[in-house]
Amino acid sequence: MKFDTPAGANPIDQLKVVGQPLDRIDGPLKTTGTAPYAYERHDVAPNQAYGHVVGAGIARGRVTAMDIAAARAAAGVIAIVTTLDTPRLAKAKRNAAPLFGGAEIQHYHQAIAVVVAESFEQARAAAQLIRVSYAREPGRFDLAAAAGSAPLVGGDSEEGSGAPPEDRRGDFEGAFGAAPVRLDQTYTTPDESHAMMEPHASIAAWEGDRLTVWTSSQMIAWGKADLATTLGLPPEKVRLVSPYIGGGFGGKLFLRADAVLAALGARAAGRPVKVALTRPLVANNTTHRPATIQRIRIGAGRDGRITAIAHESTSGNLKDGKPETAVQQSKLLYAGANRLTAMRLAELDLPEGNAMRAPGEAPGLMALEIAMDEMAEKLGLDPVRFRILNDTQVDPEHPERPFSHRQLVECLSRGAERFGWSGRNPKPGERRDGRWLVGMGMAAGFRNNLLTKSAARVRLDREGIVTVETDMTDIGTGSYTIIAQTAAEMMGLPIDKVRVRLGDSDFPVSAGSGGQWGANNSTAGVYAACVKLREAVAQRLGFNSADAAFAEGMVRAGNRSAPLGQAAGEAGLVAEDGIEYGDLAKRYQQSTFAGHFVEVAVDAATGETRVRRMLAVCAAGRILNPKSARSQVIGAMTMGVGAALMEDLVVDKRLGFFVNHDLAGYEVPVHADIPHQEVIFLDEVDPVSSPMKAKGVGELGLCGVGAAIANAVYNATGIRVRDYPITLDKLL
């Protein structure tokens, strides 16, 4: 189904099932531990052996020798595959560097061997017996040192947050120079780890030249294509299966060493092999959110209107890696005739930087929204008022393009009212609660809504059960549930008459889970398949499909009616279709908006920051399931607390690796860190987004939170920290 005109009324609008705050249909499986993750699939292939991956102990140079004799002789060892006896594998499209093979080392903990043994413990013990000799070369590990000479580079990421190297509108320098009120500040964000609960893990099994990998992947079709490229296999010989995922946050968008080395290990061992990356390998072998240095300049008239705005971001990456698109939101969030955005990329020899939840906007807003707070203060304006004053209903770089729907002003004003913003003391450092300094802060939230094609297959059986199959994934987000809700609404069924099967490359290719595009696009694909199934049902029953109404398990047309299952016949009825987008997406800018409000208390003696209250008001199209959407947003807000106050992958600048490469050293918020969180969704349907009239929401909840906390810390203490995370040493 081609979607190229705004959606009219359709069966989803009934909202009998869609839009209801239903429990997750996979909830009982999750809470009883019966939704198996990749590493736990003991059932899928007999005689599984265990692979343990060895990572390089240098960041740059060559492996000169590997002594595997002791490991080979160790108890239980079946096979060892080393990088020296494997030719360098092809670099897949979405990897910055090849994942295995050859002597060259491009980053610390690059995989150099997999040891396969009868048990996990035997594989790990044997791996520790491998002696590796290296020729170490000096590397570049310091972003700040490399930033000065970093060239302009665009971000044409397939993940969707693309931007040209430099973009200019009007005369930024002239307007900035002439502005009566000006800000010129630099903000820094650190490297961050996805720190998902389930590490990257895969089980690989060969049947002749056919490879099946049970893995943990957000994007089945990307993983299948890239695994085929890496191993030099025709794609049709590769099957990927990933029905349950214990978190991804972007870390599982791309093929990583677990799948590749499980496949190589299984080939060498002649039996299925399972591999899970250890925590240090998750940090240093896979991807991370790269650190940024962001310079922001804003010029405004004394009336508070922005006349000039510039956002320049520098990040680092491996040679074939991409820049963090941290300027993304600054192209679209506020009005202003004279504009500049630019990205610079420094070549570093650290592990690959890539997408982590809301890549671009999440770190970009951590800078921009402090700058807006600072600018409001210079202007003597309330920060909410300053943002509202600079709202725009069109893309400021392309004024002929309106936003499909933009309720930022409503998010901010509704949030201010709900949060009691008028009670904030605009003078910092004045509100005390015993030993605590108390402050409030806010920020705008923004994340683009990306459209990408998505397909599904739906099958009706005689009992009136509908089964949906699509390679869509559920990374803990609720995909199973909203897909079931969509099919139930379309076919006139209660949700318990719908079965959903996800995460298998044998199913039609979906949008996958990334960039908060999963919910809207994957359900739109299911919608398209269900439109076809409805037509097939009507035809089977001899009903006019234009008149056929689907409700309560029955199909009615005129004065005739039949149970839905009757149309299935003995063999069942199958329909397959997908959603594809025309140029509607080019005619409208599609984005999601939020207002984030935070209250913090900072210990006047120790500098410890405690978050006391958080509120997010979100405008993100139709909310398909308010319960799972709220869970997404509060999880994202929690991630925002981590980004503001704790998370920091610390670079060892001599040896070139992330030092705190485990969950003891890499701090993320725990329950005790998180206070009352409230989420409000504005009433919104966006007929331009898809027939579902929905948009993404899972990343929006993170975008802006970090800056709202930083601004609250400033309001509490009078100390402006521009270098994340805001740890207590920066407040003393």
Binding site for ligand MOS (CB under 6 A): 159, 218, 248-250, 253, 355-357, 359, 514-515
Provide φ and ψ at 64, rounded to 5°: -95, -30
Q: Read off the DSSP letter of residue 80.
A: E
Q: How far is the CB of 38 from ligand MOS (least distance, A)?
A: 17
Q: How far is the CB of 359 from ligand MOS (least distance, A)?
A: 5
> Rounded distance, CA 558 to CA 475, Å?
43
| Pick from 222, 290, 289: nearest CA to 253 | 222
Of the two residues 61 and 247, which places its CB atom closer to ligand MOS in the complex?
247
Q: How far is the CB of 518 from ligand MOS (least distance, A)?
A: 9
Of the two residues 1 and 634, which places its CB atom closer to ligand MOS in the complex?
634
Sheet with 554-557: strands ordered across: 549-551, 554-557, 560-563
DSSP tally for the chain: helices H, then strands E? 16, 30
Q: How far is the CB of 253 from ligand MOS (least distance, A)?
A: 5
Q: Read off the DSSP letter of residue 694.
A: B
Of the two residues 204 and 356, which places its CB atom closer to ligand MOS in the complex?
356
Q: Read off the DSSP letter of residue 506.
A: T
| Pick from 660, 640, 653: nearest CA to 600 | 640
Question: How many angstroms separate the first and last alpha carbons of the chain?
Answer: 59
Q: How far is the CB of 320 from ligand MOS (least distance, A)?
A: 19
C-alpha neighbours within 13 Å on the C-beta side of residue 701: 26
The closest residue (CB) to ligand MOS is 250
> Rounded distance, CA 660 to CA 666, Å?
5
SS3 content of the chain, % helix, strand, coil (to 5): 30, 30, 45
The DSSP result for 557-587, as a single string, is ETTEEEEGGGGGTTT-EEEEEEEEE-THHHH
| Unique residue bearing structure tokens 């929905």 | 694
Structure tokens of 703? 């975008």
Of the two residues 81 and 356, which places its CB atom closer to ligand MOS in the complex?
356
Q: How far is the CB of 248 from ligand MOS (least distance, A)?
A: 6
**Cβ–Cβ under 8 Å, residues 507 and 469:** yes
Q: How far is the CB of 250 from ligand MOS (least distance, A)?
A: 2
**Cβ–Cβ under 8 Å, residues 632 and 449:** no
Give the Cβ contact number of residue 665 at 10 Å: 15
Q: How far is the CB of 358 from ligand MOS (least distance, A)?
A: 7
Residue 699 among the catalytic residues: yes
Structure tokens of 354? 């890539």
Q: How far is the CB of 501 from ligand MOS (least distance, A)?
A: 22
> Rounded distance, CA 611 to CA 613, Å?
6
Of the two residues 250 and 508, which places its CB atom closer to ligand MOS in the complex?
250
Provide φ and ψ at 542, rounded to 5°: 75, 25
* β partners of residue 185: 296
Of the two residues 159 and 469, which places its CB atom closer to ligand MOS in the complex?
159
SS (H, E, C) 649-669: CCEECCCCEECCCCCCCCCCC
Quick one: 111 exposed, middle or buried, by C-beta within 10 A (0-12, 13-18, 19+)? buried
Provide φ and ψ at 614, rounded to 5°: -140, 140
Of the two residues 325 and 717, which places its CB atom closer to ligand MOS in the complex?
325
Strands (E), 361-410: none
| Residues involved in catalysis | 699
